[in-house]
Amino acid sequence: MFSTMETTFTSFRIVSRGIDISCTVFNPDGLNEGSYVELLSGATVFLSPEIFKKINKSSGAVINVLSMIYAPTNGSFNLPYDSSDGLSYSLASSIWTIVAIVNKKSEHSLNIHMNFTCNNITSDETAVCVFWNLNTNKWSSEGCNTTVINGSAYCACNHLTSFSVLMAGYIPEEDQNLVLLDTLTKILLPVSIGSLLNCIAIEIFLLKQSKSSVALYRHICIIHIAVFLLISNVSFLATSLFDMPSHRFLCKILTFVTHFSLLAFFSWTLVQGLFLVCQLLFVFHHFTKKEFLLLSSILGYGIPSAIAGGTFLVFYPHKYLMSNACWLDNISGAFLLFAIPAIVIMGGNILVLVVVIAKIFKSSVSQGKSEDDEVVEKLMKAVLFCTPQFGLTWALGIPLYVYPKTIFLHYIFALLNPLQGFFLLLFGCLLDKKFYFTCNSVLTWECLSHKT
């Protein structure tokens, strides 16, 4: 039906008897090649540079994208689906038929993103995005990716035709793990947020009691590490509280905040690591306030701002976000501007940890301490105390990126990273002997003041 329609220069939408028909008109002169455009039906279509080559601009040609949404009655269109699992699938949403007309010809090779609200979705069902294959007269999922969030199925397909969502009667093991991992993250993140608030309060207290520049710089570093980790945790948790397609602008803001705060968190761990190495290797050199402010300003604020801001400017608006989540798009390359700086900083912090371990061995030998147990104890303390403060739990993300189907790594990552705030509170504050010494000194002074 759509293929025989004449080109129109005015967008329209007609809803009648359960059928929603719309036509979205795009003028190629007002569009950038390789951009995403939103249709009246709510779907998003990618206009590739190849499409623009087919347009005769001199004739005033426009692009028409026609959509028809039809909600079938129960039991209809439950036709065969070529699935590899042998399960029985049934139709679980409306059917969308989308066709693009360029130069009075149908164009099917366009990437499209759609959001389907699934009917009667329950915890024991799973969704799959499909299209009607005219060659086999069956539903097929070839060329489509499916993501299910809060009862909605997000479909990304590389062609235009008739689309819908099918449901099976159980959740595969992979989907069960995704649900458990998501639940685990949402439970543990509030623990991290509460721990970070306590950590910040303790470090501010210790900062006021600091009498040496070394202690002052250390407390400033930990406060900044905790603050930026707190911001990233709150921002990440906030993304789970709303529907992403309906709030894309808010999603972009939260993605930028998360990106910047995580980069700043890693940068401040590097500031602390470099400060520690200088104290270990250059015993007779002490950082001046000017040197510390310069180092921390460039690494802690300048570099994260430049990377996060540059990423936003280069990839905004259509290549900045993932299609189904509030995070940097991996396909366009925006995600790499988080992953690469994080890996570089973690590499630097691992070198710092190596220097710390080497100094422990050297001091043990120089003092004549040959007891293996004592050396092992010191090494364990160094690893436990340094790992959360240097953000090294994120290092698990590297093998996870290389081996994404290793479920064991997913669970370890989901356990350690949401609890990073708790680890920072425990090893950076509560187990610090100076914390107890300062508290005891203040309490003793208060008691003596009251007695006098």
Average pLDDT of the chain, as a whole number:
75
Contact 435, 429 (CB under 8 A): yes
Stated as kind and residue range, the H or E segment containing 70 is strand 63-70
Q: Which residues, including other chains, have CB under 8 Å from residue 410's CB and lie 6 or more apart?
A: 177, 181, 400
- Higher-pLDDT residue of 119 and 258 is 258
Phi and psi based region of residue 86 (left: phi greater than 0; alpha: psi -120 to 50; beta: remaining):
left
Write out the two tokens for 15: 């809803």
**pLDDT confidence of residue 259:** 94
Flag whether pLDDT at 31 surpasses 50.
yes
Asked if pLDDT for residue 370 goes beyond 70, the answer is: no
pLDDT band for 403, please (50, 70, 90 cuts). Answer: low
* CA angle (414, 144, 142) in 5-degree steps: 125
Categorize the per-residue pLDDT at 201 as very low, low, confident or very high, splitting at 50, 70 and 90.
Answer: very high
Q: Has this prediction a pTM greater than 0.85?
A: no
Q: Out of 162-171, 240-249, 328-337, 433-442, which region has the weakest mean confidence (pLDDT)?
A: 433-442
Co-location of 220 and 362 in the same domain? yes
pLDDT at 212 (0 to 100): 79
CATH of the domain at 83: 2.60.220.50
Residue 347's pLDDT band (cuts 50, 70, 90): confident
- Mean pLDDT calculated for residue range 241-265: 85
| Tens digits of residue pLDDT in 276-314 | 777 777 766 677 788 888 989 999 999 999 999 999 999
Same-domain pairing of 205 and 266: yes
- Whether 329 and 200 share a structural domain: yes
| Residue pair 214/286 in contact by the 8 Å Cβ criterion | yes
| Token code pair at residue 9 | 């220069």
Of 171, 199, 232, which one is at a domain's C-terminal end? 171
Predicted local confidence at residue 174, as pLDDT: 53
Same domain, yes or no: 84 and 45? yes
**Per-residue confidence (pLDDT) for residue 442, from 0 to 100:** 39
Looking at per-residue pLDDT, the higher value among 445 and 67 belongs to: 67
Report the pLDDT averaged over residues 397-417.
Answer: 73
Q: Is the pLDDT of residue 165 over 60?
A: yes
Q: Quick one: pLDDT at residue 78?
A: 53
Residue 321 bridge partners (DSSP): 328
* Percent of the chain residues topping a pLDDT of 90: 13
pLDDT of 81 above 90: no
At residue 36, the 3 state secondary structure works out as strand
65 pLDDT more than 60: yes
Q: Are residues 337 and 404 in the same domain?
A: yes
Same domain, 115 and 239: no
Residue 113 pLDDT level (bands cut at 50, 70, 90)? confident
Based on the fold, state whether residues 306 and 372 are members of the same structural domain: yes
CATH number of the domain enclosing 395: 1.20.1070.10
* Domain stops at, among 154, 171, 188: 171
Whether omega before 49 lies within 30 degrees of 0, making that bond cis, reads no
Query: What domain range includes position 190?
Result: 175-451
pLDDT value of position 256: 95
Confidence of residue 380 (pLDDT cuts 50, 70, 90): low
pLDDT of the residue at 433: 63
Top pLDDT among 394 and 348 is at: 348
Query: In terms of domains, do 271 and 208 share one?
Result: yes
Q: Please give the pLDDT value at position 377.
A: 54
Do 219 and 129 lie in a common domain? Answer: no
pLDDT score of 448: 36
* Number of compact structural domains in the chain: 2
